[in-house]
Amino acid sequence: MADKIQLSKKDRLSVAWRHQFLQGSWNYERMQNGGWCYSIIPAIKKLYSNKEDQISALKRHMEFYNTHPYVSAPVMGVTLALEEERANGAQVDDAAIQGVKVGMMGPLAGVGDPVFWYTVRPILGALGASMAMSGNIIGPLLFFVAWNVIRMAFLWYTQEFGYKVGTEITKDLSGGLLGKITSGASILGMFIIGALVQRWVSISFAPTVSTVQLSEGAYIDWSAISSTASSDGVGAAIQSALSQQASGLSLTDTTVTTLQQNLDSLIPGLAAVGLTLLCCWLLKKKVSPIVIIIALFVVGVAGHLIGLL
Amino acid sequence: MDPITVLLVVFVAFLAGMEGILDEFEFHQPLVACTLVGLVTGHLEAGIMLGGSLQMIALGWANIGAAVAPDAALASVASSIIMVLALNGGSSDTQTAITTSIALAVPLSVAGLFLTMVVRTLAIPIVHAMDACADKGNFRGVEAWHIVAIIMQGVRIAIPAAALCFVPSDAVTAALNAMPAWLTDGMSIGGGMVAAVGYAMVINMMATREVWPFFALGFVLATISELTLIALGAIGLSLAFIYLGLKEAAQAGGGAGGSGDPLGDILNDY
């Protein structure tokens, strides 16, 4: 018997590199099929020397395929292992390969979306954005570098994992590991989103609730300060004013309480969480996010005009 | 803009367009795209600030399955070009330019969405061409068509970006300056609220009865301003591990013949 044909590390790296372009020919008919076929070409070339076999392999990998682009890597690893066995004469038919792909893509997409799109990206994005909003270059750099390091490591190591473990991976998948990752990601994600809503959704209600006249001695007496200025000089006046403020005297003779301060004394960001839950509800009612976004701008302008915001 | 700047902007737009579909390197995220446009046009700091603000709005925008979210690529590239034009025009101040660009980004993200759908439909004949190449065992053909499809996605953003570059910057600045203060202030207030929509999209995808308490914890802990996002991340991660560990322990205990009531078990043993 001839030597076993094996995929070298170079072949696998080449597949992993191409796999990054999985979604390039995303189409409404068979979704990621073109990108999948494009990715696996180096392996087909290595494993099958016969033209007939090459053609049937290409056609086999042009079938419908769609999952999250990163968790597709372990699927690719398993598929490589199967193709390798097949090229070495094992009984692996087209249906088995397609079955593995379809069987893995659904549950894995269910993990990839919450982990990457709803947990890792919002966290890294918010971290970078909060620095960037003050013009700090570290913000975008941190986001870009951290994201791509995580992504590339994930793509390569999970593909290798799939390749080494082969079809046995399906046992792991049903062993509850995926469920644990998903719920762990949801917990972390929800926690961070809660924090982000508090920090970054800003609503401030302008109306004044009360204006209280302060009693004498509770505010800085500016006429006394100006007489100090004329007698002892401006420096002494400033010093006296600052020390009075430091000892707790008010700058004005009234205390103005706005609606916002009242809300903040309940818990800061109450209005923000209310708005977010309203958006959740509207989205559940199938209102398009775009409509809500435009409506919020309209509310912002209108609210500002009538003095509410 | 001078020709070299235009070329660089179009190149950044091309990368963003590609990434809009690939979703790998993240060149289409506002934080990256706006920074790059700012870098090549000499308005790096303004670009970073715009990118940060837009990123906060776009955090929850993600392509799930066949559904497509508002398009971050066109929104970030086009709005940053408009901002640069306004700044080049001279008289408009940075903050106004950023605020207005954010408001403009929203309709742009819808326009980008339609362009994406057009391109995804155009990709159907492309995969048919790939089928034909596969039938002949033509590796080169399959590869070439896939690359054509990727380029098509890049061009989707590169063309509008190139067109925008030729708008005279005086016109943009004049238009911005003609906007009354109540409108720009109001839009900036609206911009502060818009982030809620992105968060709501994420919440709707993940929320179950089980995880709502963690949302509340995150919200309340964030009021402590000494806690940075990294600190909050550490707390969240720990909570997730603790919760999953306890849940597993509870299940294992139940399976081993316990009464499912750990406190009751302790009392019984006592």
How far is it, in rounded angstroms, from Cα A32 to Cα A75? 13
Average pLDDT, chain B: 87
Query: Which residues, 6 or more positions from A27, have their beta carbon under 8 angstroms from its beta carbon?
Result: A33, A34, B120, B121, B123, B124, B126, B127, B149
Contact criterion met (CB < 8 Å) for A186 and B211: yes
Residue-wise pLDDT for A80-116, tens only, equals 999 998 998 888 888 888 888 988 888 888 888 888 9
**pLDDT above 70: residue A18:** yes
Structure confidence at residue B269 (pLDDT): 60
Question: How many beta-carbon pairs under 8 angstroms link A with B?
Answer: 367
Region B49-65 average pLDDT: 84
> Residue A254: enclosing H or E segment and its boundaries?
strand A254-258
Of all residues in chain B, the percent with pLDDT exceeding 90 is 50
* Inter-chain residue contact B190 with A297, CB threshold 8 Å: yes
Asked if B146 and A147 come within 8 Å (Cβ–Cβ), the reply is no
Contact A124, A146 (CB under 8 A): yes
Q: B255: distance to nearest CA of chain A, Å?
A: 16
Q: Residue B257 has what pLDDT?
A: 47
Among B21, B152, B202, the strongest candidate for a mutation testing the A interface, having the largest count of A CBs within 10 A, is: B202
* Chain B positions in Cβ-Cβ contact with residue A308 (cut-off 8 Å): none
pLDDT for B117:
86
Chain B contact present for A143, CB below 8 A: yes
Nearest CA in chain B to A64: B127
Dump pLDDT digits (tens) for A171-201.
666 567 778 888 888 899 899 899 989 988 8
Give the pLDDT score at A171. 62
pLDDT reading at B180 higher than 90: no
Query: Over 50: is that where the pLDDT of B93 sits?
Result: yes
Q: B66, A203: Cβ pair inside 8 Å? A: no
Q: Which of B153, B182, B195 sits opposite A24 (nearest CB)?
A: B153
Q: DSSP per residue over chain A, as a string? A: -PPPP---HHHHHHHHHHHTTTTTT-BTTTBTHHHHHHHHHHHHHHH--SHHHHHHHHHHTTS-B---TTTHHHHHHHHHHHHHHHHTT----HHHHHHHHHHHHHHHHHHHIIIIIIIIHHHHHHHHHHHHTTT-THHHHHHHHHHHHHHHHHHHHHHHHHHHHGGGHHHHHHTTHHHHHHHHHHHHHHHHHHHHHHHH-------EEEEEEPPTTSB--HHHHHHHHHHH-HHHHHHHHHHHHHTT-BSSSEEEEEHHHHHHHH-TTHHHHHHHHHHHHHHHTT--HHHHHHHHHHHHHHHHHTT--
pTM above 0.80, yes or no: yes
Q: Which residues of B touch A51 (CB under 8 A)?
A: 137
Whether the predicted pLDDT of A295 surpasses 60: yes
Nearest-by-Cβ selection for A132 from B49, B142, B202: B49
pLDDT exceeds cutoff 50 at A1: no
CA distance B266 to chain A (A): 28
Residues written for chain A = 309
Tens digits of residue pLDDT in A40-64: 999 999 999 999 999 999 999 999 9
* pLDDT at B261 (0 to 100): 57
- Structural element, H or E, at residue A213: strand A208-213
**Does the pLDDT of residue B111 top 90, yes or no?**
no
Cβ under 8 Å to B: A residues 181-220: 183-204
Of A24, A126, A293, nearest to B197 by CB-CB distance is: A293
Q: Say whether B199 and A197 touch across the interface (CB within 8 A).
A: yes
Q: CB–CB of B32 and A22 under 8 A?
A: no
Inter-chain contact B22–A131, Cβ cutoff 8 Å? no
Classify residue B90 by its DSSP letter. Answer: S
State residue A172's pLDDT score. 62
Model confidence at B155, pLDDT cuts 50, 70, 90, reads: very high
**B55–A128 C-beta distance less than 8 A:** yes
Poorest-pLDDT segment among A70-79, B34-43, B139-148, B170-179 = B170-179
Burial class (CB in 10 A: 0-12, 13-18, 19+), A270: middle
Neighbours of A55 (CB within 10 A): 17
Domain layout of chain B by residue ranges: 3-183, 208-270
The angle subtended at Cα B105 by Cα A260 and Cα B147, nearest 5°, is 140
Of B31, B183, B207, the CB nearest to A190: B207
